[in-house]
């Protein structure tokens, strides 16, 4: 089971990396088109809207990838000074708090995206539900990652933690 959870964890990162990369390439392309079209000829109306939507999706998916890689900001100085048993308890309590927050974010994000379902974007006439669905989606993926961390912790393995890099 632990192997399957590790493959799921790694699979999430393997899927998110190229999606975010493609989103960044698309964002650069759309913004370049927007700049060139304003300077050379009449501006293309939909570019600002697409750039905004891409930025929203890239932000949430990027936060999810950062979570998967253990790269979110963490203040672990006090926890790291605890003996192993209390450290595991504090880490487990932190996982439970994160799971509760992410489930709440997913529920509120789902409600918000449904509340905006009647609204259409001005240029593309795209339902705003598609724009806002990234919030509950990202929260659910991060919840799955947090549950994997909690299972690893209960199995005696280390959950993902902050990445220590020398800068």
Domain housing 76: 2-154
Q: What is the pLDDT of residues 32-46, one digit of tens each?
A: 999 999 888 888 889
Rounded to an integer, what distance in angstroms lies between the CA atom of residue 81 and that of residue 79?
Answer: 5
Quick one: average pLDDT of 106-123? 92
Q: Is residue 166 part of a domain?
A: no
Rounded to an integer, what distance in angstroms lies between the CA atom of residue 53 and that of residue 100?
Answer: 27
Whole-number pLDDT of residue 162: 59
At residue 164, does pLDDT exceed 60?
no
How many domains does one find in the chain? 1
Q: Is residue 163 part of a domain?
A: no
Among candidate residues 49, 44, 76, the one with its CA nearest the CA of residue 164: 76
Q: Is residue 106 part of a domain?
A: yes
Which is more confidently placed, 78 or 141? 141
Q: Is residue 160 part of a domain?
A: no
Quick one: average pLDDT of 58-78? 91
Following CA atoms 109, 112, 118, 120 in sequence, which dihedral angle do they give, to the nearest 10 degrees?
-60
**What is the pTM (predicted TM-score) of this model?**
0.88
């Amino acid at each position: 089971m632990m192997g399957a959870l590790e493959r799921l964890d790694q699979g999430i990162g393997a899927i998110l990396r190229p999606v975010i990369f493609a989103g960044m390439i698309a964002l650069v392309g759309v913004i370049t088109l927007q700049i060139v079209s304003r300077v050379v000829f009449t501006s293309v109306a939909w570019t600002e809207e697409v750039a905004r939507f891409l930025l929203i999706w890239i932000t949430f998916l990027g936060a999810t990838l950062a979570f998967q890689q253990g790269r979110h900001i963490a203040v672990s100085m006090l926890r790291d000074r605890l003996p192993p048993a209390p450290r595991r308890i504090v880490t487990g309590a932190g996982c439970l708090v994160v799971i509760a927050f992410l489930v709440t974010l997913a529920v509120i994000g789902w409600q918000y995206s449904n509340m905006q379902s009647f609204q259409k974007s001005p240029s593309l006439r795209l339902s705003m539900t598609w724009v806002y669905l990234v919030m509950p989606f990202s929260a659910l993926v991060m919840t799955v990652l947090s549950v994997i961390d909690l299972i690893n912790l209960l199995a005696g393995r280390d959950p993902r933690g902050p990445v220590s890099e020398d800068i």
